[in-house]
């Protein structure tokens, strides 16, 4: 412990040196921007800035890139809350309740809670990263294909809890998402599936165009279809800060989101996206008033936003402790280290203590910077809502197209976004939720790959899922969840979800029909 404090002292002396501090601030500002702009997510942002970091010293470079990563997680909530456009994929869940809060004139509190939640999650999870990195990283390595399959199945099972409306409808949407996720190269055999002669479809459908289309475009289309334009919400100063009740309601979601996000972040994969879905589902599940979800529940903003920030720190655990990338973003950051002649590996912490502890300390500093940066911006961002819709919406449309195009420089992605916008419009007219589609698209390729890898490892025997303890435990949990849900269904023959207080309240539903 004393060692840690001493190391941390060294770290802070690195992190607070003017140059490193400057790059932390620059990274946070760029990250916030990257998060705010729809389409361009942290991966695209870091990739674009990677070459620029080659000229810096390694500590500044890694601090800059990390700043972009967690800065994007802060910024991603802004457009989600204000315009129902996910600034990056991990903010999809924030769209649902965050935007409803905006429509009720509570945009300020939603943004403030997102920033504070992100700050708490960011800071607490760095403590976790600092103290637990080596043992946790070793645990993360034990996640092979069978464990991963079990985890993803568990994730799909909590889907049913996510829905505000009909479970059947949300499962149908998840299935649609999974089907969309089947497009692209079959990773086990190299066959192209459903590509219709388009090389670009070989990689499958990207999450960004799907999310921006289903959420952002469909919202714009729905608004355009209304008989009279929605009122311009003029925010008042006293409405900018959360009320006492909102603070109270957010405390536990932030705590749970932080914990969940960190744990999920460690496990390789697109952790920050999944963590926000899981957090939302958990909040809904434990809430005394689950019917409020989907209608502007602040818990639905606080939980996922904390989780996705916490997951970013979690993702650094295997990267720093073992030199193993836990996802595409840490992979790019590892490349940045390699360019500076540092071989990322199990010896990184010992060989480069100034880098490791400087990095840790800079994350504490960075989170403070982001809080200071984001809280005053709440007032500014909320004022965007004053812009009349005939001006605001075309502008948003332009930025959606620009952002989605920028990710891969692909026109096909823009088309996917437009098609998804149309699809989202139709589905929402028929009262289908679109979030499960995004989850399906995220999970499908990972689930398919890990499932088929597992079976290839076992030469086709399903026993592999039961013989490995971690996988078996998770599958048992999933099964228990499923059975628990089915018991009242058979016992009383009523809507089993009522037993969990999950049945949608009919008045609220009607209110939502437009």
CB of 301 to other proteins, least distance (A): 20
CA distances from 207 to 90, 92, 95, 180, 383 (A): 10, 10, 15, 10, 29
CB of 50 to other proteins, least distance (A): 5
What are the backbone angles phi and psi of residue 184, rounded to the nearest 5°? 120, -175
Residue placing its CB nearer to other proteins in the complex, 410 or 505: 410
Residue placing its CB nearer to other proteins in the complex, 49 or 435: 49
Give the footprint of other proteins on this chain (CB under 8 A).
Answer: 33, 36-37, 47-48, 50-51, 54, 141-145, 185, 187-192, 197, 199-200, 202-203, 268, 318, 322-325, 328, 331-332, 334-336, 338-341, 343-348, 380-381, 384, 399, 402, 408-410, 449, 453, 456-457, 459-460
Residue placing its CB nearer to other proteins in the complex, 124 or 140: 140
| Structure tokens given for 341 | 């002649």
| CA 400 – CA 40 distance, rounded (Å) | 9
CB of 492 to other proteins, least distance (A): 44
| CA 393 – CA 206 distance, rounded (Å) | 24
Residue placing its CB nearer to other proteins in the complex, 203 or 512: 203
CB of 47 to other proteins, least distance (A): 4
| Structure tokens given for 249 | 């309601």
CB of 413 to other proteins, least distance (A): 10
Instruction: Enumerate residues 6+ apart whose C-beta is below 8 A from 19.
Output: 57, 60
Task: Using the CB atoms, write b or e for 210-249: b if 16+ within 10 Å.
Answer: bbbbbbbbbbbbeeeeeeeeeeebebeeebbebeeebbeb
Handedness of CA 312, 314, 320, 326 (dihedral sign): negative
- CA nearest neighbour of 279 among 118, 71, 489, 112: 118
CB of 386 to other proteins, least distance (A): 12
| CA 265 – CA 316 distance, rounded (Å) | 8
8 Å CB contact between 72 and 42: yes
Residue placing its CB nearer to other proteins in the complex, 312 or 450: 450
| Structure tokens given for 334 | 């590892």
Cα 398 to the center of its chain, rounded Å: 24
CB of 399 to other proteins, least distance (A): 7
- According to DSSP, the residues that pair with 184 across neighbouring strands are 193
CB of 32 to other proteins, least distance (A): 10
Residue placing its CB nearer to other proteins in the complex, 200 or 239: 200
DSSP class of 182: T
CB of 332 to other proteins, least distance (A): 4
| CA 65 – CA 76 distance, rounded (Å) | 16
Instruction: Enumerate residues 6+ apart whose C-beta is below 8 A from 251.
Output: none
CB of 272 to other proteins, least distance (A): 17
| CA 58 – CA 56 distance, rounded (Å) | 6
- According to DSSP, the residues that pair with 87 across neighbouring strands are none
């Amino acid at each position: 412990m004393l060692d840690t404090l001493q190391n941390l002292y060294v770290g802070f002396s690195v992190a607070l040196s003017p140059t490193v501090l400057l790059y932390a601030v620059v990274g946070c500002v760029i990250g916030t921007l990257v998060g705010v702009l729809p389409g361009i997510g942290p991966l695209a942002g870091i990739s674009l800035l990677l070459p620029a970091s080659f000229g810096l010293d390694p500590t500044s470079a890694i601090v800059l890139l990390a700043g972009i990563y967690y800065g994007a997680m802060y910024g991603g909530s802004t457009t989600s809350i204000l315009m129902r456009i996910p600034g990056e994929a991990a903010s999809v869940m924030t769209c649902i309740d965050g935007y409803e809060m905006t429509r009720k004139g509570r945009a300020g509190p939603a943004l403030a809670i997102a920033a504070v939640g992100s700050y708490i999650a960011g800071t607490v999870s760095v403590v976790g990263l600092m103290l637990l990195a080596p043992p946790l990283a070793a645990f993360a390595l034990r996640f092979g294909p069978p464990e991963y399959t079990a985890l993803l199945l568990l994730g799909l099972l909590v889907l049913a809890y996510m829905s505000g409306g009909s479970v059947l409808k949300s499962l149908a949407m998840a299935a649609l998402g999974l089907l969309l996720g089947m497009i692209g190269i079959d990773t086990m055999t190299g066959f192209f599936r459903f590509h219709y002669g388009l090389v670009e479809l070989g990689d499958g459908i990207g999450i960004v165009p799907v999310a921006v289309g289903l959420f952002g475009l469909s919202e714009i289309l729905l608004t355009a279809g209304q008989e009279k334009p929605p009122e311009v919400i003029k925010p008042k100063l006293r409405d900018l800060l959360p009320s006492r009740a909102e603070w109270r309601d957010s405390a536990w979601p932030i705590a749970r989101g932080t914990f969940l996000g960190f744990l999920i972040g460690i496990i390789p994969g697109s952790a920050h996206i999944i963590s926000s879905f899981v957090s939302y589902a958990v909040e809904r599940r434990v809430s005394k008033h689950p019917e409020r979800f989907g209608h502007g529940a602040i818990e639905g903003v606080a939980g996922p936003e904390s989780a996705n920030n916490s997951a970013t720190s979690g993702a650094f655990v295997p990267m720093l402790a073992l030199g193993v990338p836990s996802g595409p973003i840490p992979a790019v950051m590892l490349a940045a280290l390699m360019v500076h002649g540092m071989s990322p590996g199990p010896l990184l912490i010992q060989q480069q203590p100034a880098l490791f502890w400087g990095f840790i300390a800079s994350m504490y500093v960075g989170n403070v910077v982001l809080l200071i940066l984001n809280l005053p911006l709440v007032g500014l961002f909320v004022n965007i809502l004053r812009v009349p819709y005939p001006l605001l919406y075309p502008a948003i449309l332009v930025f959606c197209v620009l952002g989605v195009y920028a990710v891969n420089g692909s026109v096909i992605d823009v088309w996917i976004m437009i098609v998804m916008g149309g699809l989202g419009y139709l589905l929402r007219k028929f009262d289908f939720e679109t979030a499960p589609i995004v989850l399906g698209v995220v999970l499908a390729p990972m689930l398919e790959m890990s499932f088929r890898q597992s079976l290839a490892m076992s030469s086709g025997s399903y026993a592999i899922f039961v013989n490995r303890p971690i996988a078996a435990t998770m599958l048992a949990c999933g099964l228990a969840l499923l059975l628990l849900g089915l018991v009242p269904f058979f016992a009383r023959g009523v809507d089993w979800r009522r037993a969990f207080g999950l049945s949608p309240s009919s008045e609220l539903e009607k209110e939502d029909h437009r």
